[in-house]
Structures are given as structure tokens and as C-alpha cells.
Amino acid sequence: MACRYRSALFGASLLATAPALMPQAQAQAQTQTAPGPAPGRAFFEQWDRNHDGRITWEEAWEGIQRRFVEADSNRDGGLGLNEWLAAQLPGRPPRSDRVQADPQRQRDRRMAMFRAIDANRDDQVTLTEIRPVAESWFRALDANGDGALSLDEMPRASQRQPTPR
């Protein structure tokens, strides 16, 4: 249950930050071979700005802000539902070892996440609304409570539980 909660929080924050990651994640997944580094390592190293093997809250928040600005295509300081979905829907390229998710289900989940983060119900998700979700995600992942995330604290696909349909 705790693992599912941590994965959900991690997913929530990534939904807010993933738009600009998608091209990089797609390229990484396409070039990665089976006996290579862990899939999350490149992501982790990108967010670990000072390369000390830890992602501090400051590094995470800087990354979230950077991704948000890149996703805000009309530069109005908020992500509308269309910007949110456009930034999210490309997803990861297919891999033979990954069960393919139903695209409609993915879209429904992303819409639900948008509604959940849009605290003031103005049909815009702002950094102010994303911050509490991201902070919760960060604290939930920081298993040892040291104020930073190590690669070992990041959720792995093998830890995720399948969601019943």
C-alpha cells in the first residue's frame, strides 16, 4: 500500500513535469538495450544538477519549474487542460517488455490528475497548485528523511502494483 501511495505521488508530480521530458525519455528508451543502466538513472542524473548522487528539494523544484515553463505553450503562467493533455499524451514509445496501457484510460487518468491539482477550479494548473503535490511526492519518496532523494529511493517499475480495471 505504501509503495502504491509513493508511486501515485511520484506520478502526480511527474505529470506536472513530464512535458519537456518526453522527447528525452523517448530518445533514451529507443536507444536503451536490455543489459544497460537502470531506466530511471538518466532521469535521476538529469535532475541531480550538482551530480552528488542526491536530488534535494531545491533541485527538484527547479526542475519542476523548468518543465512547467516549457509546457506552458501560450506563456500565460498556467497549463490549461489542452496544454496538459498535449504535453502528456505522447507517452513512452512501445517496448516489447511493457504492457501497453489503454490510450483512453491514460487520457482519463491525466484529466483526473489535472482536476485534482487544479485547486481553485479555474481550469488552469499553476506552479502554486503544483507545489504542494510535488512537496508531498518528495517527502513520500524520501524514505530515510534526510531531505534528499537517492537513486535507491526512486520507485521502480517492478515495485508498481497493477491497477485493477
- Please report, for the chain, the start and end positions of each structural domain, with discontinuous segments joined by +: 2-28+40-93+103-159
pLDDT for position 4: 47
pLDDT for position 70: 87
The grid coordinates listed for 150 are 537517492
Cell 489503454 belongs to which residue? 102
**Higher per-residue pLDDT: 97 or 26:** 97
Average of pLDDT values for 85-102?
A: 63
pLDDT confidence tier of residue 8, bands split at 50, 70 and 90: very low
- 79 vs 159: CA distance, rounded Å: 31
pLDDT for position 93: 52
Average of pLDDT values for 25-42?
A: 50
- What's the CATH architecture for 2-28+40-93+103-159? Orthogonal Bundle (1.10)
Q: With a threshold of 0.85, does the pTM exceed it?
A: no
pLDDT in tens, 132-141: 999 999 999 9
pLDDT for position 98: 60
> How many angstroms separate the most distant Cα atoms in the chain?
46
pLDDT for position 39: 55
Query: How does 92-131 read in b/e, with b if 16+ C-beta sit within 10 Å?
Result: beeeeeeeeeeeeeeeebbeebbeebbeeeeebbbbebbe
